[in-house]
Structure 1
Amino acid sequence: MEINDLTPAERRLWRAFATGTTVDFREAPDEAVSPDWGLERTVRARVLRALLLDGPHRPGEVAALKLMGARITGELDLRYATVDSVVRLNHCHFDAVPRLAGAHLNYLNLRDCVLPGLAAARSRIDGSLRLTRCRIGGPVHLGGAQISGALFLERAELSTADPSSAVLALNQVTIDDDLCARGMRAHGAVRLDGATVAGSIDLEDAELSNPGGFVLAAEALDVGANLLGRRMRARGRIDLRGSRVPGRVDLLGTSLSNPGGTALRASSCVIGEIWLREGTRIEGRLNLRRASVGQLQLEPEMLPDQVRLLDLTYTFLTPHEPAERRLPMLERDDGAFDPHAYEQLTAAYRRIGDDRAARVVQLAKQRRHRSTLSWYGRVWGHLQDAAVGYGFRPLRAAVWLLSLLAVGSVAYAGHHPPALKAGEAPPFHPVFYTLDLLLPVISFGQESAFAPTGWYQTLSYVLIVTGWILATTVAAGVTRTVSRQ
């Protein structure tokens, strides 16, 4: 391109490129980006392309494209090009979508720009990509891109006219540093499927909106540190299925809403810590099935009506809450009875030495299991529950025995049953006679020596049957206790 073909504004930029000098067309440093530009503030995209691919160089200087406050007309097409110079276009307005697919760039800074979209799939950026405070009205395609530095999207505003298209496509992207998107506003789906971020993903104070669809699709996401989402507001589905986050998934103070669908799915994930606290109640399902979590910080108040926990494993559950406040979490799973969920909660209480809460959870497990049995199994279960609380309320057996012992002793003290052999029977003792009836193994020689009649005989049958039931339930309870030890 000949310099005579350039406008005065383009000539100024052409001369500044060789020394990396910044060209600022703004009338004031804080001037907002506006589509109302004159020719003196307009640069053609093909001029930028010519500079980046074959621009002037001066010995001893580092060439760079640094432009601020300009309108860029036409399409900036750098597909599969190699650009060695730093590209910094700030406070600029693009008329067309920049085409950077497959390009190899040194550094790209589009801070505070207005763009109709960005097509940079499979691009390679040796430094960072900065889209801070950009207003982008179309899809941002970075699928398969390799970014050696960080990706900055702080306070960026992303939207698209096509609801079926992702507003931010980061599928299979590789970022060697952080993904910083604090305060980002995205009206559409953000896709991170198969992405690898060596550092952390920061979505604190972000607003993600795509009602009825995905707001964050991050299946098989691999994060090197943390996924931060404090005070994030999400209206749609967040899917982290199969992701790996060795640090924490921090959702303190978040608002998650997807009525009628899944609000958060973190199934089959491996996560160091999940923090779900201090936020509003989740609207929609919470799915943590088959996930492996080191520490689960979960406030009962945030749980929705449907919680799926099948095969969820965790080491610690905080904050410490009474078992009665944790059990509804297990009962909200709309799947079949899952004993593993009860065992996990029991183990969490035992690790902190709360045996009483562990027993409450185990009792709730037996009662939930009872509802899956046949009618006779349920009857036997009710008897065990009433008698000794499935072995977790052993004092109940003592209360029952003492009560029946008192009834039998009083009844037989007022009416001694006749002896089978008058001359050979030992002296009658109502207390030991009742014990003989109640205890199926121990014998005091009273039951075999006396034979009650009438109503007292019926009472003896009731005591014998009740004794056997109590003995069986106590034995079952002791067996459970021993197996737990």
Structure 2
Amino acid sequence: MEINDLTPAEEQVWRAFPLGESVGFRTAEDEDVALGRDWGPERTVRAEVLRALLLNGPQEAGEIASLSLEGARISGRLDLQYATIDHPVRLRYCYFDEVPRFYACRLRELNFGDSVLPGLTAHAMRVDGVLRMTRSRFHGVVRLAGAKISGSLFMESAEIIAPDAEEPVLQLNQAAVGDDLRASGLRTDGQIRLSGASVAGSVNLNTAHLSNPGDSTVDAEVLVVEGNFLLREARVDGWIGLRGARIAGRLDLSYSTLSNPGGPVLLASSTTMGELWLRQSPPMQGGLVLRSAQIDVLLLEPEALPEQVFLTSLSYTSLIPHEPAERRLTMLERDGDGYVPHAYEELAAAYRRVGDDYAARNVQLAKQRRLRGTLRWYYRIWGYAQDTTVGYGFRPLRACTWLLSLLAIGSLAYGLHQPPALKPSEAPHFNPVFYTLDLLLPVISFGQEEAFAPEGWYQYLSYALIITGWILATTVVTGVTRSVSRQ
């Protein structure tokens, strides 16, 4: 392209390129770039001119050429697919008439900060530095699938609204980011696809507003994040999918409002993560799915829980903050998979690891009661007997209370009405206390029961004491056996 074919605005950009100088056409600091379609020729640059500069622009000895342009309207399509660009490309506060095409392009640096674009096509693009789209506004799909970015991806306060799109509005599936993905304040209307992506640093979506009601807002299956995945103070309308993801640091959903009524709001089955934080948030509107997830530290406040959770095969090392077992059991009672024994064992183990054996016993007792509801009626009767008498072995002092109460009743009854001796000449001296103990204790004998035979209703009382004694003895042995096996 000859310089004689350029407009004054384009000539200014052409002359600045080999010197690495910036060209700006902004008329005010607060001008709205969305009105760029009305900008005249004095600040319009054809896309073909930028393409010619980047592919075969003039060079100046001793200078580093770069394209740095602000406040321009880019007319036509900027098509650089398959190109290798050795110069930094900075197109800030620019308005693009058509979707730029960077498919399989290789660049040093790309900056669309504060610009307005109808979309971006950059599958398999490679950026050896950073990709900046801070405060950019996209009115179409941003395609970065398979992109490789050596540095960070900056999307703070960016906006992606593509009302007619039938595909994810932000496509980062199979992408590789060599540092952080910084997108705090990001606003999207549609799905963000991160499936198969890898981020060597952290993902920051704090204060983001992600909307795709009734569908996936973030599809991040088998995502790998070597740092943290931050989604604090955010609003999410739709569900977040993290099935099979691996997050080395923490998944932080603190202070966020997550809503997907009638379906899952966080789907994190088979996920491995260092920490999961759910605190200082309103209750999730939707299900929490943590089936087969592995978490080192689960920071979960009961108030943040939704009405339904799915915890089958969930494993965790620490559960904080430390709460009474009664508050934690609510979570297990909301399990949509029904009675899940493993969930009770995990909770009890977490309490034992911090030395709270009392809470661990309460969890084990709740597990037995929940199990009782799944059994046949005749097993439930036996379960109620064990629960009432010794709390399935987790309340052994109850047996002492029952025994002492029955001992007092029997001793008083037989003390007031001594049963007749079977062989008066051979009978020992009658003692109502030891006679009652003989009836209650099935193994130990004091020689009283064989020598005396009560009559009338006192005989029925003796039968009741014998049966109750056997039940108490059996349940005590069952509880002790269970405690020994746990140890």
Shorter-chain TM-score category? over 0.9
RMSD over aligned Cα atoms: 0.9
| Residues in 1 aligned to 2:216 and 2:340: alpha-carbon distance in whole angstroms | 29
In the TM superposition, residue 454 of structure 1 has moved relative to its aligned partner by 2.0
TM-score (norm 1): 0.99
Tell me if 1:198 matches 2:200: yes
Task: Provide the residue aligned with 1:268 in structure 2.
Answer: 270
| 2:323 aligned residue (316, 321, 324) | 321
In the TM superposition, residue 29 of structure 1 has moved relative to its aligned partner by 4.1
| Residues in 2 aligned to 1:49 and 1:271: alpha-carbon distance in whole angstroms | 44
SS of the counterpart of 1:66?
A: strand
Alignment of 1:239-250 (within 5 A): 239-250=241-252
Per-residue deviation, residues 405-435 of structure 1 (Å, max 9, x unmatched): 1111111112222222221111111110110
Per-residue deviation, residues 232-283 of structure 1 (Å, max 9, x unmatched): 1101111111111111111110110001111111111111011100011110
TM-score (norm 2): 0.98
Task: Provide the residue aligned with 1:7 in structure 2.
Answer: 7
Task: Provide the residue aligned with 1:145 in structure 2.
Answer: 147
| 1:83 aligned residue (66, 82, 85) | 85
In the TM superposition, residue 359 of structure 1 has moved relative to its aligned partner by 1.1
In the TM superposition, residue 98 of structure 1 has moved relative to its aligned partner by 0.3
Q: Which amino acid in 1 is paired with 2:343? A: A
SS of the counterpart of 2:157?
A: coil
SS of the counterpart of 2:12?
A: helix
Per-residue deviation, residues 22-52 of structure 1 (Å, max 9, x unmatched): 1111123443312221101001111111111
| Residues in 2 aligned to 1:163 and 1:432: alpha-carbon distance in whole angstroms | 86
| Residues in 2 aligned to 1:279 and 1:97: alpha-carbon distance in whole angstroms | 39
| 1:70 aligned residue (61, 64, 72) | 72
8 Å Cα contact 2:163-2:189 kept in structure 1: no
Task: Provide the residue aligned with 1:362 in structure 2.
Answer: 364
| 1:443 aligned residue (430, 442, 445) | 445
8 Å Cα contact 2:141-2:165 kept in structure 1: no
In the TM superposition, residue 163 of structure 1 has moved relative to its aligned partner by 4.7
| Residues in 1 aligned to 2:377 and 2:119: alpha-carbon distance in whole angstroms | 64
Task: Provide the residue aligned with 1:475 in structure 2.
Answer: 477
Q: Which amino acid in 2 is paired with 1:147? A: I
In the TM superposition, residue 331 of structure 1 has moved relative to its aligned partner by 0.6
SS of the counterpart of 2:250?
A: strand
| Residues in 2 aligned to 1:298 and 1:318: alpha-carbon distance in whole angstroms | 6
- Alignment gaps of 5+ in structure 1: none
In the superposition, relative to structure 1, how do residues 77 and 163 fare at CA in structure 2: closer, same or farther (>3 Å)?
closer
Q: Which amino acid in 2 is paired with 1:323? A: A
| Residues in 2 aligned to 1:303 and 1:142: alpha-carbon distance in whole angstroms | 35
Task: Provide the residue aligned with 2:256 in structure 1.
Answer: 254
Size of the aligned set, in residue pairs, is 485
- Counting aligned pairs with the same residue, the percent is 63
| Residues in 1 aligned to 2:283 and 2:29: alpha-carbon distance in whole angstroms | 43
SS of the counterpart of 2:88?
A: strand
Alignment of 1:78-477 (within 5 A): 78-477=80-479
| Residues in 2 aligned to 1:393 and 1:30: alpha-carbon distance in whole angstroms | 71
| Residues in 2 aligned to 1:28 and 1:381: alpha-carbon distance in whole angstroms | 79
Task: Provide the residue aligned with 2:50 in structure 1.
Answer: 48
Per-residue deviation, residues 322-367 of structure 1 (Å, max 9, x unmatched): 1111101001011131111111111111122211111111110000
| Residues in 2 aligned to 1:287 and 1:335: alpha-carbon distance in whole angstroms | 10
Q: Which amino acid in 1 is paired with 2:378? A: Y
Q: Which amino acid in 2 is paired with 1:210? A: N
Q: Which amino acid in 2 is paired with 1:278? A: Q
Q: Which amino acid in 2 is paired with 1:19? A: L
In the TM superposition, residue 475 of structure 1 has moved relative to its aligned partner by 0.5
| Residues in 1 aligned to 2:162 and 2:138: alpha-carbon distance in whole angstroms | 8
| Residues in 1 aligned to 2:31 and 2:166: alpha-carbon distance in whole angstroms | 35
| Residues in 2 aligned to 1:225 and 1:451: alpha-carbon distance in whole angstroms | 79
| Residues in 2 aligned to 1:280 and 1:186: alpha-carbon distance in whole angstroms | 22
SS of the counterpart of 2:87?
A: strand
Per-residue deviation, residues 427-453 of structure 1 (Å, max 9, x unmatched): 111110110000000000011111222
| Residues in 2 aligned to 1:466 and 1:28: alpha-carbon distance in whole angstroms | 91
| Residues in 2 aligned to 1:257 and 1:362: alpha-carbon distance in whole angstroms | 33
In the TM superposition, residue 15 of structure 1 has moved relative to its aligned partner by 1.0
In the TM superposition, residue 183 of structure 1 has moved relative to its aligned partner by 0.7
In the superposition, relative to structure 1, how do residues 401 and 163 fare at CA in structure 2: closer, same or farther (>3 Å)?
farther
Task: Provide the residue aligned with 2:61 in structure 1.
Answer: 59
Q: Which amino acid in 2 is paired with 1:5? A: D
In the superposition, relative to structure 1, how do residues 163 and 331 fare at CA in structure 2: closer, same or farther (>3 Å)?
farther
